[in-house]
């Protein structure tokens, strides 16, 4: 992960977690393709990183809620042989009850959190598999394993990211592939999703001691990647909690494989 001949594509790169990923990967020697909607911010970040780290940075202005803009990124992933990493960071939260939500809210979250991430992953995965090399980082959320009254759609999209990614991880493991896929599940993180009021919940409404900086979040996630973690939860101290959770999940699934209704559903 140190050669300047390798390129990382980072979505949602103009601020927050994506911008920190860009910085940290640049420090590791990656050239970059930065993807986001805001051209001015991308240009500023690209100039800063190229000067600071002596790398090549391409800005790709794209709104990943739009099919034609996803296609721009797909073209890079499919045709640039230097690309060895994809960071699917772009995401959207609209934290409202379903009664208060609009269809546009729901569709926007599904378009960005699910459709764009899926399309970019399915574009780059065969390329990486053919080379037997490459890394995909899918940024989900701790709300992938928890749903609140205000997070039904958001939690649903992030649960999809987790389940989708785990299926690919199983696929890669069974093929003995060197391609890596990591899923990152941040908790509350100090990004513009709160400060701009985009989510519908202001940062001031959060418990302040639960909010992680974007720098700490990304540094922890990359440490997890270096350690070979498939699932990284930056704020969870006791990593055995995930093992316990995942073991219980596997046991629950195994218990479904009987072909017979449970006794409590059978009439006496």
Q: Which tokens in the block code for residue 222?
A: 């990359």
Is 154 tagged catalytic?
yes
Specify if 1 maps to a domain: no
Which pLDDT tens digits describe the chain residue by residue (268 residues)? 444 479 999 999 998 999 999 999 999 999 999 999 999 999 999 999 999 999 999 999 999 999 999 999 999 999 999 999 999 999 998 888 999 989 999 999 999 999 999 999 999 999 999 999 999 999 999 999 999 999 999 999 999 999 999 999 999 999 999 999 999 999 976 556 645 556 555 555 556 666 889 999 999 999 999 999 999 999 999 999 999 999 999 999 999 999 999 999 998 7
- CATH of residue 35's domain is 3.40.50.720
Q: Which residues contact 246 (CB under 8 A, 6 or more apart)?
A: none
Instruction: Name the active-site residue from 21, 53, 154, 160.
Output: 154
Specify if 258 maps to a domain: no
Confidence (pTM): 0.92
Specify if 255 maps to a domain: no
Instruction: Return d(Cα 153, Cα 171) in angstroms, integer.
Output: 27
Residue 83's domain comprises 7-237
| Number of domains within the chain | 1
């Amino acid at each position: 992960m140190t050669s300047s001949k390798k390129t990382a594509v980072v979505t949602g790169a103009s601020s927050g977690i994506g911008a920190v990923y860009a910085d940290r990967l640049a420090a590791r020697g990656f050239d970059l393709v930065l993807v986001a909607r805001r051209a001015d911010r991308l240009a500023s970040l690209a100039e800063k990183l190229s000067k600071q780290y002596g790398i090549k940075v391409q800005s790709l202005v794209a709104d990943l809620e739009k099919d034609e803009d996803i296609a721009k990124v797909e073209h890079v992933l499919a045709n640039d042989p230097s690309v060895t990493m994809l960071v699917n960071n772009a995401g959207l939260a609209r934290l409202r009850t379903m009664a208060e939500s609009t269809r546009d809210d729901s569709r926007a979250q599904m378009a960005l959190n699910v459709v764009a991430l899926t399309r970019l992953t399915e574009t780059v995965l065969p390329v990486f598999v053919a080379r037997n090399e490459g890394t995909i980082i899918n940024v989900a959320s701790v709300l992938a394993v928890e749903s609140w009254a205000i997070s039904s759609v958001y939690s649903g999209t992030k649960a999809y990211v987790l389940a989708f990614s785990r299926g690919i991880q199983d696929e890669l493991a069974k093929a003995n592939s060197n391609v890596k896929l990591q899923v990152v599940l941040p908790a509350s993180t100090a990004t513009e999703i709160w400060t701009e009021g985009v989510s519908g919940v202001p940062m001031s409404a959060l418990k302040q001691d639960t909010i992680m900086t974007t720098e700490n979040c990304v540094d922890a996630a990359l440490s997890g990647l270096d350690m070979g973690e498939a699932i990284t939860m930056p704020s969870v101290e006791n990593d055995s909690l995930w093992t316990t959770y995942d073991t219980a999940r596997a046991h629950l699934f195994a218990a479904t494989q009987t072909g017979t209704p449970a006794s409590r559903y059978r009439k006496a």
